[in-house]
Amino acid sequence: MILIADSGSTKTHWRLLNGDHIEQHETIGLHPSFSDEGLVKSVINPLAERYPNVNKVYFYGSGCAEGSSGQTFLQNELQICFQSAKVYVHSDLLGAAQACYGNTSGLIGILGTGANTAYYDGTILQQKVPSLGYLLGDEGSGAHLGRLLLSAGLRNELPTNLLRKLKLDKELILEKVYEGSAPNSFLASFGPFLFRNRMIPEVSALLQESFGLYVDRYVNVYGEGQTLSVVGSIGYYFRTELQEALRSKGHFLGRVLEHPIAALSLYHLAE
């Protein structure tokens, strides 16, 4: 019995594999930077109690890079809850690579709440540019797009009709961004608004700016003519804009998955 998790900053998708029987669950995201021990246990314990016979747990999460404190933290918490299981904790980027490429190689990216990219050789990741999070990086991510939108809105750089739809509350926004428990998720929550209004020139310009920066900083460093496969809601819903940003720099868009959990399940079933 295998339990697989794909966890971003906002959501965690779980899939139980028990022979031909499959069960799915969705919980909040378990990013180690924003989740304390109590929160993690409140999410994991009900699953451990429901599935006491799990013998392998594969957890792929943002903030769980190899050798990081986040990886160690979640490894320990999961092992405490699933005491009789072998627990493996890896980065969400490795999970994305396994979902898109299996045992073959290619350039893999994540564009969801956050952003990340690496080259996958079929076994391990080789990363030339680190992910710096929503404060110092994450260009092309939902958090970056939300930041550009809110910044432009609060400066009255958007059309009046768009500002009317946004209904910006400066004090609330500053509180959520600077004092909230999950500012990156708050910023990324404006993704659906951007999608609905993506044909408005000012919004289109924001999308071009963000995805252009993503390609410049996360893709170009791997050389010319790259084919990038992407996992994440931002990459999935804005794949036309992403494809154009890649094309303008001489690159190509490969496979695009909103969620990698189904492909990850197939990958582990084939082991």
What CATH number does the domain containing 27 carry?
Answer: 3.30.420.40
Q: What is the pLDDT of residue 199?
A: 94
- Are 264 and 98 a contacting pair, CB within 8 Å? yes
Note whether 126 and 245 are same-domain residues.
yes
Find the angle CA(114)-CA(137)-CA(201) to the nearest 5 degrees. 80
Name 175's Cβ contacts closer than 8 Å, sequence gap at least 6. Answer: none
Note whether 116 and 139 are same-domain residues.
yes
Beta strands at 106-111 and 227-231: parallel, antiparallel or unpaired: parallel
Note whether 94 and 130 are same-domain residues.
no
3-state secondary structure of 193: helix
What are the phi and psi torsion angles at 153 (to 5°)?
-65, -45
Q: What is the pLDDT of residue 197?
A: 95
Note whether 39 and 66 are same-domain residues.
yes
What are the phi and psi torsion angles at 254 (to 5°)?
-95, -130
Note whether 71 and 158 are same-domain residues.
no
Q: What is the pLDDT of residue 167?
A: 86
Note whether 72 and 132 are same-domain residues.
no
The residue segments making up the domain with residue 40 are 2-98+260-269
Q: What is the pLDDT of residue 252?
A: 96
Q: How many domains does the chain have?
A: 2
Q: What is the pLDDT of residue 11?
A: 84
- Structure tokens that stand for 247 in this block: 């094309």
Note whether 107 and 236 are same-domain residues.
yes
Note whether 130 and 64 are same-domain residues.
no
Specify the DSSP class assigned to residue 124: S
Note whether 63 and 161 are same-domain residues.
no
Note whether 9 and 129 are same-domain residues.
no
Note whether 85 and 12 are same-domain residues.
yes
3-state secondary structure of 222: helix
Note whether 40 and 121 are same-domain residues.
no
Give the chain's residues under pLDDT 70. Answer: 134
pTM of the model: 0.85
Beta strands at 106-111 and 115-120: parallel, antiparallel or unpaired: antiparallel
How many of the other CB atoms lie within 10 Å of CB of 6? 27
